[in-house]
Homo-oligomer: A and B are copies of this chain.
């Protein structure tokens, strides 16, 4: 009972006209007589004709698909970015193909290769940690050299010529640290990841700068550098056991809410005894007990902007190579894990 899709050829045969006539009639071309147009359009409507996207893609070398390659989708931040991309892209008639690199260089490469052979009109990506560690961006360079536009967001590199969207991570960390110091905290710790992650590096810089600007020396023993953004409960527990601190800045919300728990387990009162701030204004931050003060990264905004930048490039005929980097301002969202 499988009534397969009807094609132009089918309509042409049935109405005893040529395929070209049908095509034109459906596009309301001036070339076709009123009579014929009405006949064709009525027939098409009746049989619910819809042009085949693939054929159209092949013809005009445009797929109306956007490839999104991100390290993971479980971190709330990436989640919101995808939502922002989706929103803008769909409104513009584009579909979003999501691929997860899972922080793996190889997967990132494979995913890009899968998509780069005609499946998409452009890429929006955030680099995997492995890629940032390796500093190998050849897969990106190849793609851009083929004329496929790329927009990098959040985890970016300057070695690729493309548009970029980030928040001012350094400023975010700076503001947060400053906030902690203003509360009278003396021993502000930092839980971050290795410096190869671009965002972690910037945030560490912001933290350091804030301390120095306040005339406080940076003490290495107050900084915990985890290898990746992945949760390592043991490491954080150990850090707590061996460190005397009265405030913590964390590079994501997961580290932060987990820190809240450990702090409470160790008998600290949050925020009375210890203040904690995280990055990413997600579910965890909102619903943690106590709720978490965070640096909001405006992921949805970021997604929308990335999508707009990409689609503008895709639809711009003139292939002038002007690349811009958009820097969003982070916002400090005050909640109950700090004294406000």
Contacts and interface: CB of A to CB of B under 8 A. Distances in A.
A113 B51 CA distance: 11
Interface string A242-263: 0000000000001001101100
Nearest to A142: B48
A278 to B, nearest CB: 11
A296 interface: no
Contacts of A5: 117-118, 146
A98 B82 contact: yes
Contact of A86 (B53, B100, B119): B100
A79 interface: yes
Interface string A144-170: 011100000000000000000000000
Interface string A33-57: 0000000000000001011111101
Interface string A107-121: 000010111111100
A318 interface: no
28 contacts: A2-B147, A2-B319, A3-B146, A4-B146, A5-B117, A5-B146, A50-B113, A51-B117, A52-B58, A52-B117, A53-B117, A54-B63, A55-B118, A73-B83, A74-B79, A74-B283, A79-B79, A82-B98, A83-B100, A86-B98, A90-B99, A95-B97, A95-B115, A95-B119, A96-B97, A96-B98, A257-B289, A283-B284
B51 A54 contact: no
Candidate in A55, A95, A284 with the most chain B CB atoms within 10 angstroms: A95
Nearest to A49: B117
Nearest to A287: B257
